[in-house]
Structure formats: C-alpha cells, structure tokens
Amino acid sequence: MNRSLQGLTYFVRTFGCQMNSHDSERVVGMLENLGMIMGDQETADIVVFMTCAVREAADTRLFGQVASMKNLPAPMGGKRIIALGGCIGQRDGDYLFDKLDNLNVVFGTHTIEDLPSLIEEAYETDKKVSSLADRAATPSTDLPIKRENNFHAWVPITMGCDNYCTYCIVPYVRGHEYSREFNQVVAEVELLASQGVKEVTLLGQNVNSYGRDLYGKPKFAELLRAMDDTGIKRVRFTSSHPKDLSDETIKAFAESKTVMPHLHLAVQSGSDRILKAMNRKYSAAHYLERIGKVRELVPQVALSTDIIVGFPGETEEDFQQTLDLAKKANFAQAFTFIYSKRAGTPAAKMIDDTPREVIQERFDGLVELIQTSAYANNKIEEGKTLDVLIEGSSKRDDTILTGRSPRNSTVHIKLAEGRSVEDYIGKIVQVKIELAKTWYLKGNLV
C-alpha cells in the first residue's frame, strides 16, 4: 500500500452514462485500496472528475467546475490534486493542462488502472502527469471495485462501440467494441447474487451485438437465458440497438423469469432520411415492426428511448415523422436531446442551419407528447400490486421510500410510523399502486 496517500480524502464526481458510473466505482475501489477516505468536493485532498463528451453542455459544465475549484481554500493536507478522467480525458489528453491550469492529472477511458500511480506522482512531485492509450492493457473489469450500493450492480458485457452513428463521439473515446467472455459474465452475476445483490444491469453501447467479436455471432439471447440460473432476482440491460434486436433476443427477453419487462431502444428519429444521415441502419418501419414483435411477446413491456431533435438538415416534415413514430410507440420514457455538434464526427461537417428557436419549439412539442404517453403508461399500473425494489428515500422527504417497479417506474411509498428507510433499503416489497403521476407512482406497502 502506498503510505504517502494513506489517510488522505478523495471525492469522485461523475458525469455521463452508466459506463462512467461503473468506471467511477472502479476508481473509488482503487482509491480506497490505497487507504484513502471519502470526503467532499470542496475539502477533499484528491478530486477526480469522470467526464462525458457526448454533448457540449456536459463539456462546458465540467470546465466550469474544474476552474471554479481554484477559489476554494486548500484542504487540510495542504495540497489539492485534481484528476480528470473519462471521455473528455481520452479526447483531449494533455491539451487539458493548457485549458485548465489547476489540473494535475489526466487519464483516459483505457488507463484507469494507472490512476493510483499518477496521483502518487503528482502528489509527491507537484508535476502534471498523464496516462493515455488507444486500447486497454487491463480491462477495467479486473480492477477493485466499490459499488454505489449493495443491492444493484452494473455489469459491463461489451465495451466500446463500432456503430459510428454520425453525430456520436462515443466510438472515438471508448474505442472498438469488445465483449467480455460469456462464462466470466455469468460467474460475476452468480457471485453478485451470492453477495446479496438483487438486481444487475447488463451494460454495453449495443448489448444486442454482445459476443459477435468473440464467438462469430451474437450471444446476447443466450446470455439473457443464462441469467435465470444465476440466483439473481432481477436483470435489466441497456442499450439495445434496433438494427440488431433479433427475434431470438426478443424470445429470450419474453421467456426469462428474471429479466424485467422494460426495454430501452433508442430510435433517435422517425424520419428515414434523417436515420440514414445518422448512419443508424434501420428505418422507422423497422423500428415499429421490432417493437410490435416485443409487445406481442411481452405485452406488459415498458418502452423507453432516446431521441435527437435538430439533427443537421432536419425539416419540419422529418420532425413530424418523429412525432408520428413517438405517438405510435407509446413510450413510457424518452431521453430527448437537442443535437449537439461534436468535433471530429461526420455530422459536424453537415450543413446545420435550422434556427435555434425552431429546434427549441420542436423539442418542447416532443417533450409534451412524451409526457402524455409516460402518464398513460403509469396509469395502467393503478390498482395493481407490484414488486418494488426499494432504493432509498425521497430527496425531499425522508419518510417516503422510493423504489423501482418491474417496468422501471419510480414508486413512492409512505413509511409506516416507527419504521425507518434502513428497514427496507435493498429489499423487494409488494406495493399496491394507488395513484399514477407522469414520472412516478404512489402506493402503499401490502
């Protein structure tokens, strides 16, 4: 163990997707292995930013946050080390030292395992140090881990992405897609179940193509089927790509006892012209056909999606086709994004002249439509008794438990007098649903 860092405090701030959340758990695992103790952003000796490059807003926020740390008093140890990792670290590398003069360490998505030695060197020598590589020497899944909680675990099954959607930075910052071995994933889920974890989320940018690089053909359906024998109570997975969602996978999804009836299937647009320009490799009709098949085999399924508004060249007619598809799809949830130009991607070179106000107006219209279908999706749960995994208490009121239903709705439950949140955290309880709201359900413990 490195003695110079022992007893120092750390704080990890995470931006972006579940992949980063998972990587942050590895970072925390490594820092605690060095004998460091969790602190807070203002006073910690070591502050690590795990960054996201997917949209400009995340970039800007990050730069603001790191720069503003200059105004804070020095921590108790006398010295503050700021480290920046994740997707912006991978994208910008040492150039970040020019942009942020209070930054001490830069690392990328493939060099997480170097963080302890980088921090040590920066702390002892006051030098600015970095480690960057195009491909991981050690898959981050082999590193120590400290999970956000004891009842849920992220389980990466593929890393990177080979789809090159024309707007997206992810393939450039996460590298080529590669899968973890089937037996290794199953063994990890078995181990997690034996440790008391209730729910796992299988992670990948396109989980449907899981195994193609290792076994010559995708093995995602088999992986889903294998989950039933691991002892885990609940399985979720994200993200699915419509071009690779096979009949075999839909069947496995339908027949599994542990896989929850929620499918996240990003559509991005309802216009074939725009889908082609995005390099998504499917049509709106294909998307609707696939979700039709899912609903036929899993009638209770809740569908969620990602939609980009204002992709270069999107016309009013293209946007109306997106609205039309969203109406037909009846999404329970949609992550809606205004297109953000990312340097180095093919879309960054496309003509992008739709006025900002027009895009904002389209965006607002879409959000309104999604609110309607989200409410309709929750409404059908009223009167039912659902199994809810309790995750904690409401941020605003600690006498209200919050949890997740099988269809992935947030559920709020009033605590009985004399009981505490700790009595329930991580447990799956039965809840009678009394009231549906757009973004949550209200119910009582049975």
- Choosing among ligand SF4, ligand SAM, ligand F3S, none, which partner's interface includes residue 87 (Cβ < 5 to 8 Å by kind)? ligand F3S
157 vs 428, which CB is nearer to ligand SAM? 157
Side-chain half-sphere exposure of 13, counting CA atoms within 13 A = 20
Cβ atoms within 10 Å of 409's Cβ, excluding its own: 24
135 to 164: interface string for ligand SF4, x by CB under 6 A: --------------------------x-xx
168 lies in the binding site for ligand SF4 (CB under 6 A): yes
Residue 334 contacts residue 305 (beta carbons within 8 Å): yes
41 to 60: interface string for ligand SAM, x by CB under 6 A: -------------xx-----
159 vs 170, which CB is nearer to ligand SF4? 170
Q: How many residues does the chain have?
A: 446
Helix (H) or strand (E) holding 153: strand 152-156
337 lies in the binding site for ligand SAM (CB under 6 A): yes
Total of chain residues touching ligand F3S, rule CB under 6 A:
13
241 lies in the binding site for ligand SF4 (CB under 6 A): yes
Contact residue for ligand F3S among 87, 105, 129, 308 (CB under 6 A): 87
**Cα distance between residue 430 and residue 425, in whole Å:** 13
219 vs 241, which CB is nearer to ligand SAM? 241
Tell the burial category of 5 from Cβ atoms under 10 Å away from its Cβ (0-12, 13-18, 19+).
buried
Of the listed pieces 32-40, 138-146, 168-176, 425-433, which binds ligand F3S according to CB under 6 A? 168-176
24-55 exposure pattern, b = at least 16 Cβ within 10 A, e = fewer: bbbbbebbeebebeebeeebbbbbbbbbbbbb
Closest CA to 221 of 259, 267, 265, 261: 259
5 to 44: interface string for ligand SAM, x by CB under 6 A: ------------x---------------------------
- Choosing among ligand SAM, ligand SF4, ligand F3S, none, which partner's interface includes residue 171 (Cβ < 5 to 8 Å by kind)? ligand SF4
DSSP secondary structure code for residue 415 in this structure = P
| Pair of tokens at residue 342 | 């990312």
Peptide bond into 179 cis (omega under 30): no
Residue 446 contacts residue 416 (beta carbons within 8 Å): no
170 lies in the binding site for ligand F3S (CB under 6 A): yes
**Residue numbers 5-24 binding ligand F3S by CB under 6 A:** 16-17, 19-20
**Residue numbers 18-77 binding ligand F3S by CB under 6 A:** 19-20, 52-54
275 lies in the binding site for ligand SF4 (CB under 6 A): no
153 vs 161, which CB is nearer to ligand SF4? 161
322 lies in the binding site for ligand SAM (CB under 6 A): no
Map residue 149 onto helix, strand or coil.
coil
**Cα distance between residue 385 and residue 408, in whole Å:** 14
Of the listed pieces 119-127, 141-149, 166-174, 183-191, which binds ligand SAM according to CB under 6 A? 166-174
**Residue 281 C-beta: closest distance to ligand SAM, Å:** 11
- Choosing among ligand F3S, ligand SAM, ligand SF4, none, which partner's interface includes residue 164 (Cβ < 5 to 8 Å by kind)? ligand SF4
Contact residue for ligand SAM among 167, 220, 253, 424 (CB under 6 A): 167
165 lies in the binding site for ligand SF4 (CB under 6 A): yes
Side-chain half-sphere exposure of 358, counting CA atoms within 13 A = 13
82 vs 202, which CB is nearer to ligand SAM? 202
Radius of gyration of the chain (CA): 23
339 lies in the binding site for ligand SAM (CB under 6 A): yes
Give the distance from CA 279 to its chain's centroid.
22
**Residue 306 C-beta: closest distance to ligand SAM, Å:** 3
Strand arrangement, sheet containing 152-156: 152-156, 199-203, 234-238
Map residue 107 onto helix, strand or coil.
strand
For CA atoms 139, 141, 146, 148, give the dihedral sign: positive
Which residue ranges make up the site for ligand SF4 (CB under 6 A)? 161, 163-165, 168, 170-171, 205-206, 241
